[in-house]
Amino acid sequence: LKEISESLGVYNARIDHLKEEMQDYTHSAELIRADMQQLRKRCALVSGNQRCELTGQTLLGHEFYLFPCSHAFHATALRLEMQKHHNSFQRQTVKQLLQTLTDLSTDLPARTPFFQRPLAALPFLNLSSSEKDVMTPGHDGGDGTTAAAKEHALAQERELVQQKLDDMIASECIFCGEVMIKSLHTPFISIEDDWMEGQEWAI
């Protein structure tokens, strides 16, 4: 009986320990969810004269990435810079993602400005299909619904591809993250440039 009691005591202690771990994990998950919610609401201000850290050109007018450290880069410039730090497989993956984005963008129909849409297409009117057909002669409600569903699916797929591309080239700032640490051993000029510099200074 004593051994059984001791075994039960050990099991109870282990169960209590597991419960505490589960509570810790639950608390950590709640903190992570809260952080993710805060990140979604996070914003940053970009001044009209802020420039790309790589090209020196004005940010606005082109697609760009802005990092929490305040460094900002044009998307194309950052992608080209990251190619220097990617292996062949990563470069090929980025190339495929870019091609997929181009294909999806081509498939997505051009959006009609809100004020140019037909009256029957305005969502807040809550018109039935028959009422839409009356207000829009020659309109087939089924085709419109199918086209909208296809457009939504393409937009979602494009967003997923864009997220994968962002993870590949903009997971962290190249000036403040692991990329900069790994490039510390890289010389400022190549061996060829060093040799040419020496030749120019030769007497």
Q: How far is CA 90 from the centre of its chain?
A: 16
C-beta atoms surrounding 12 within 10 Å: 10
187 vs 60, more confident:
60
pLDDT score of 164 more than 80? yes
Instruction: Kindly report the pTM of this predicted structure.
Output: 0.54
pLDDT score of 171 more than 90? no
Residue 29 is predicted with a pLDDT of: 87
Task: State the Cα–Cα distance between residues 82 and 76, nearest whole angstrom.
Answer: 10
Task: State the Cα–Cα distance between residues 52 and 64, nearest whole angstrom.
Answer: 8
